[in-house]
Amino acid sequence: MSECDLLISDLGLPETDGCTLLRQIRELEAGSQLPPVPAVALTAFAREKDRTAALEAGFQSYLSKPIDPEQLLNVLHHLAAGKNSGGGALK
């Protein structure tokens, strides 16, 4: 497994969903020496239960489409700087 700086994933994927994907990544990370990759859920699923599921799966941030490019850049900046609040405060 190689180190990654940031993961941006949709929740609606063809073979699985983004939450399952991230859970699998987190399991791999747990068995490695690499730090957890910061992850952003970027999705059209805009219900509160989708946001909650994404954050519980391990995403640090949740953005619903359509997104404001400045908002995305702000979230990416905060995550890259390590300013992750852990509970998805960046939304």
CATH code, 40: 3.40.50.2300
Helices (H), ranges, the chain: 18-30, 48-57, 69-80
**Half-sphere exposure at residue 72, Cβ-oriented, CA atoms within 13 angstroms:** 15
Return the pLDDT at 31: 85
Indicate whether this model's pTM tops 0.85. no
Return the pLDDT at 83: 62
As for how many domains the chain has, the answer is 1
User: Is 91 contained in some domain?
Assistant: no
User: Is 85 contained in some domain?
Assistant: no
User: Is 62 contained in some domain?
Assistant: yes
Query: Which two structure tokens, joined as six digits, stand for 11?
Result: 């929740």
Return the pLDDT at 46: 85
Weakly modelled stretches of the chain, pLDDT under 50 = 1, 85-91
User: Is 2 contained in some domain?
Assistant: no
